[in-house]
Amino acid sequence: MNKMQINEPLFRTIKRKPRSAREIMRLRMFALVFALIAGGLFVLMIGYNPVEVYSTIISGAFRSKMAIQATVKFMIPLLMSSLGVTLAFKMKFWNIGAEGQIIMGAVFASYFALFYSKLPHFLLIFIMFVAGFIGGGIWGLIPAFFKSKYETNETLFTLMLNYIALHVITFLRDGPWKDPGSSGFPKIARFVKNAQLDKVLGVQFGWIIALILVVVVFVYLKYTKQGYEISVVGVSQATARYGGMNVKKIVLRTMVLSGGICGITGMIQATGSDITLASSVAGGVGFSAIIVSWLANLNPFGILIVSFLFSVLEKGSSVMQSTFGLSTYSADVLQGIILFFILGCEFFIRYKLVFRGYHSKGGAK
């Protein structure tokens, strides 16, 4: 063993050749089976029947009209925020700030819901929709500007903006927007009926907006000049500049759109689900959106499917928890086991582990 081999790590990851669609589908099916087996072993260890638990998860999401509505209600913000971060991820801009962008969209929209609630209903909803987009867009533009001008780390920048946005709500709740009738408990007043989203089939109107956005984002990325520019910037900024593209403009524009879609999500959550501005308006969905968008390979229609499956798992797990008397942590562990295998599968679709002494041309020694 020579000195070079000693200094070489025991194993490393390398990018593998693209797999066929059939191979990818087969790997994902294996990952799902192993995930269910591993989750089933965990359920057995805590003293329950895996078949009963899994059937409860599935039936729990669809067992009644109310359950279906709850599943869709959870899916709306997850789907929309996943579409938002996908625009940024397509150009390799790591937008981890969907939470903050959702919050700021809710804050901007809530201003009109609280102080201009006497406007005509449809005009008010439209203004809040635009305000939500602007709020999220500004929160997405800030890290894009600093990245373009000063080469700051967008991952850390967008992550820190999440906490700033959260404290903005705390400031408003405890200060200028505090409900006078809260009886000492700080909160923001509930929106009047005129400022609430209408319902369609028992669920707030946001699900229709979400489905429209799936089509809009798909067409935008695949069939427009701006979508093509996003893809080129994602592959290589140097290539984009060589082709005469204004990379700074593309980054700024795309982050406004990315943050804006997340901002609309916040508006819909505040006016359609929470009916007020609460610190839980994002509820961690901005982080889940990152997983959803990558599992769907940044494909809007794939995001629709994955977010639906996530919502079924989330709603079904809550029913499983109440049916079997499990703790919240047990339900979270089961979800984590399933997601671990599925995410691991995505890694091995793109990469492989090679051990010390491996050579790409000659193979392993």
Q: 11 falls in which pLDDT band (50, 70, 90)?
A: low
Q: How many domains are there within the chain? A: 2
| 64 within a domain of the structure (yes/no) | no
What pTM did the predictor assign? 0.87
Q: What is the per-residue pLDDT for 329?
A: 76
- Is residue 181 located within the same domain as residue 294? yes
- Is residue 43 located within the same domain as residue 109? no
**What percentage of the chain reaches a pLDDT higher than 90?**
45
| 34 within a domain of the structure (yes/no) | yes
353: domain range? 19-48+328-365
**pLDDT higher for 310 or 20?**
310
List of E strands, 150-198 = none
CATH code of the domain containing 216? 1.10.3470
Count of positions (residues) in the chain: 365
- Is residue 35 located within the same domain as residue 157? no
- DSSP labels, 223-257: HSHHHHHHHHHHH-HHHHHHTT--HHHHHHHHHHH
- Is residue 180 located within the same domain as residue 132? yes
Q: What is the per-residue pLDDT for 201?
A: 84
- Is residue 213 located within the same domain as residue 231? yes
Average pLDDT, the chain: 87
| 66 within a domain of the structure (yes/no) | no
- Is residue 352 located within the same domain as residue 247? no
- Is residue 91 located within the same domain as residue 210? yes
Phi and psi angles of residue 184, each rounded to the nearest 5 degrees, phi first: 90, -20
- Is residue 308 located within the same domain as residue 349? no
- Is residue 316 located within the same domain as residue 342? no
- What value does the CA radius of gyration of the chain take, rounded to a whole number of Å? 23
Measured over the CA atoms of residue 39, residue 45, residue 47 and residue 49, the dihedral's sign is positive
